Amino acid sequence: MYLPPESLLRLLQLPLSLLNSDQPTPHPEVSDGKHHGHKNLNNLGNLSPYHDASTVHGASADLPEDCTIDQVILLHRHGSRGPTGEQDHILELANTLEKAWDIIQSSDLPPYLKFLKQGYKYDLVPEELTIVGRKELFDHGVEFSFRYPTFSTKEVVSTNVQRVIDSAHFFSQGFFGRGAENVTFLTTDNFTDPVSWLVPWESCPKLSYVEPYEAAQKWAKEYIPPIVERLNGLIPGVGFFLNATRGALYGCPYDLAARGKSPWCGVFTARELRGLEYELDLFLDGYSGHASKGDPGPLVGAFYIKKLIERLTSKDAEPLYLDFAHDITILFALSTLDLNKDAVPLSPFVDHPPAHRKFRSSNQTPFAAEMVWEKFTCKQSFEGPQVRLVLNGVTFPLSICQKCGKDKKYGTCSLNEFVRANEYSRNVEYHSQIWNATCELDH
């Protein structure tokens, strides 16, 4: 895929303020917030629009002045996309509203539901990168070139999923400019690794969506029924049942992903949106984290950490690596590093979502999430090569290998300590005993 730079700029320089105009009046409990005129729209789990993560207390955003960044390794999630399996719920919503057209027209609706009188049409393209997603990636490419102006590479790697390939191209147009014409774009199909560092779960057939999905559904049956009751009380006769209400909840993040605005976001309270966020976290923590049986996350994510260490320590390593993949690629890596494991595993059997949980996909993997690894050296502040993780614009402390006060202040650790702390990952092998026990169906 190639777009002439002039056409790309005309497409992507459209201000998001235009996309966000004419927003309906929101529910009183979600007004006066930080994003798109509402509260909590940065807390929609892995369906959140890109935003910088919350600052981690005590971790400095800037390195000491005598330090120089020598190598940068980027793992980037694709940008905002259309729905996957959730589209069935959104279609159910659209059908429910269409059948209730006469009831809606004759109803006295609160301000945040008056948009229903204009009708609600489902027009989202499933799974494809949206215009908002294209802009996210192009902007990130431009910002990345400002942050690391002296770094360059001749290769960009992505998974073979089209939205990820497109994301890599849009980022590259922003980062390289016209130089993107001279870059080689590779996908995981170009590599012969027995386990891909970008899609390692594809080599683990035993890894299952079933348990995580069931846990998320159990929580959904707790937090959604009160919303169903509330909506049916506001518009009697429409028939907001479970699936249509789920469609309305998903309509919020997916409208944002497609157009940068959504009338549905103003329908739900902050508490209700936190319920959706926790539902998504339960599923993701179960699949890529620590909450599922056998705790496969650290094993599967070890192949990304192996590749990372190889790049950080090899004498022949490039100064810049640009990889594009998925939210769970990042989450598997964090799981392997033990950086987002909660002391008490996330559970659907709670009265409300834990407010201070470590596993939070809203901060860790919104659309267009950026995991940036920096290797740096200093004249005096640190001795020898050091490593830092910047996740979505914020220093993410490497607690697994910090040895001194400066490590804690800057969220860093020495390269030697980082390698030593990840001995488990370095020793994981495809078809080893632990791999077969965790991943292979015939063991």
How far is Cα 258 from Cα 129, in angstroms, rounded to an integer? Answer: 9
How far is Cα 30 from Cα 42, in angstroms, rounded to an integer? Answer: 12
Average the pLDDT over 255-284 and give the result.
Answer: 95
Beta bridge partners of 76: 324, 370
Binned at pLDDT 50, 70 and 90, residue 289 comes out as confident
**6 pLDDT higher than 50:** no
Query: Is position 442 within any domain?
Result: no
**11 pLDDT higher than 60:** no
Binned at pLDDT 50, 70 and 90, residue 22 comes out as very low
Query: Is position 132 within any domain?
Result: yes
| Phi, psi of 95, deg, nearest 5 | -65, -40
How far from 392 is each of 55, 87, 324, 366, CA to CA, in Å?
Answer: 10, 27, 14, 9
Binned at pLDDT 50, 70 and 90, residue 1 comes out as very low
pLDDT at 15: 38
Query: Is position 321 within any domain?
Result: yes
**21 pLDDT higher than 80:** no
Task: Write down the mean pLDDT value for the chain.
Answer: 90
How far is Cα 400 from Cα 95, in angstroms, rounded to an integer? Answer: 50
| Phi, psi of 68, deg, nearest 5 | -125, 130
State whether the Cα torsion 269-275-281-284 is positive or negative: negative
Binned at pLDDT 50, 70 and 90, residue 2 comes out as very low
Query: Is position 438 within any domain?
Result: no
Domain count, the chain: 1
Task: Please give the positions annotated as active site.
Answer: 78, 327
pLDDT at 187: 98
How far is Cα 395 from Cα 183, in angstroms, rounded to an integer? Answer: 29
pLDDT in tens, 297-323: 889 999 999 999 999 999 999 999 999
pTM of the model: 0.91
pLDDT at 59: 80
pLDDT in tens, 121-136: 888 889 999 999 999 9
Query: Is position 308 within any domain?
Result: yes
pLDDT at 300: 93
Contact indicator for 71, 308 with CB cutoff of 8 Å: no
Q: What percent of the chain is predicted at pLDDT more than 90? A: 79
Average the pLDDT over 73-99 and give the result.
Answer: 95
Domain with 317, as residue range(s), is 25-427
pLDDT at 60: 83
**142 pLDDT higher than 90:** yes
pLDDT at 181: 95
pLDDT at 25: 57
pLDDT at 54: 82
124 vs 232 pLDDT, higher one: 232
**38 pLDDT higher than 70:** no
**35 pLDDT higher than 50:** no
**196 pLDDT higher than 90:** yes
Q: Name residues whose C-beta falls within 8 Å of residue 91's C-beta, 6 or more positions apart in sequence.
A: 122, 247
DSSP-assigned letters across all residues of 287-333:
HHSSSSTT--HHHHHHHHHHHHHHHHH-TT--SEEEEEE-HHHHHHH
**427 pLDDT higher than 60:** yes
pLDDT at 311: 98
The CATH number of residue 112's host domain is: 3.40.50.1240
End-to-end CA distance of the chain: 42
Range name among 4-8, 43-47, 76-80, 394-398 with the lowest pLDDT average: 4-8
Query: Is position 79 within any domain?
Result: yes
Query: Is position 274 within any domain?
Result: yes
Average the pLDDT over 370-392 and give the result.
Answer: 97
**160 pLDDT higher than 50:** yes
Query: Is position 6 within any domain?
Result: no
DSSP-assigned letters across all residues of 342-376:
-SS---S-SSS--TT-S--HHHHS-TT-EEEEEEE
Range name among 5-14, 244-253, 258-267, 396-405 with the lowest pLDDT average: 5-14
pLDDT at 345: 87
pLDDT at 32: 32
Binned at pLDDT 50, 70 and 90, residue 24 comes out as low
How far is Cα 245 from Cα 248, in angstroms, rounded to an integer? Answer: 5
Q: What percent of the chain is predicted at pLDDT more than 70? A: 89
